[in-house]
């Protein structure tokens, strides 16, 4: 299955990419309504580095998510894959492309939900709506940081 979120950010591709290179970027991108915390950050520039996030999915159930950085091509793209988590598979490409008004930020996620046919049948309702809300928030945070004037 595939989820894509794309936004125009009125900043250079280099600035948009630099946002994601910050050590605290993952923490900044966690929405306040998500019961999640970063256990370990990872530099996107270090292929093989792993980020670990704990998230509460339902009630007391906490799941550990481990993502490994697999591609780093500044200032255009970096990629991570799920090593451990809720999905059978998860590949997330963060793509930054030049645009006449700044840069386009596109998140492309190819995933296979758990629970086989049932997971795929419920994905549009349960997974995609949550991804939409999450990435709307992430793109707004990125936009706010990138478009603010240099200090």
pLDDT digits (tens, 9 = 90+) for 8-40: 999 999 999 999 999 999 999 999 998 899 999
Give pTM, 2 decimals. Answer: 0.92
pLDDT digits (tens, 9 = 90+) for 52-85: 999 987 788 889 999 999 999 999 999 999 999 9
Closest CA to 110 of 130, 133, 78, 87: 87
Domain boundaries of the chain, sorted by first residue: 2-147
Q: Which CATH number fits domain 2-147: 3.30.530.20, 3.40.190.120, 2.160.10.10, 3.50.50.60?
A: 3.30.530.20
Residue 99, strand partner residues? 102
Residue keyed to tokens 């999905």: 87
- The answer to whether residues 130 and 136 touch, using CB atoms and an 8 Å cutoff, is no
* Peptide bond between residue 2 and the one before it cis (omega within 30 degrees of 0): no
Give the up-direction half-sphere exposure of residue 82: CA atoms within 13 A in the CB hemisphere. Answer: 18
Give the whole-angstrom CA distance, residue 10 versus residue 98.
10
């Amino acid at each position: 299955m595939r989820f894509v979120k794309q936004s125009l950010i009125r900043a250079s591709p280099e600035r948009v990419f630099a946002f994601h290179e910050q050590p605290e970027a993952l923490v900044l991108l966690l929405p306040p309504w998500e019961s999640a915390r970063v256990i370990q950050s990872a530099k996107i520039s270090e292929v093989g580095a792993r980020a670990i996030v704990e998230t509460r999915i339902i009630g007391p159930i906490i799941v550990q998510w481990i993502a490994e950085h697999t591609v780093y091509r500044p200032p255009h793209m970096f990629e991570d894959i799920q090593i451990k988590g809720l999905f059978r598979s998860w590949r997330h490409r963060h793509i930054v492309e030049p645009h006449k008004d700044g840069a386009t930020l596109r998140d492309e996620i190819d995933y296979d939900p758990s629970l086989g046919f049932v997971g795929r049948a419920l994905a549009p309702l349960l997974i995609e709506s949550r991804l939409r809300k999450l990435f709307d928030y992430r793109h707004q945070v990125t936009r706010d940081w990138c478009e603010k004037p240099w200090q």
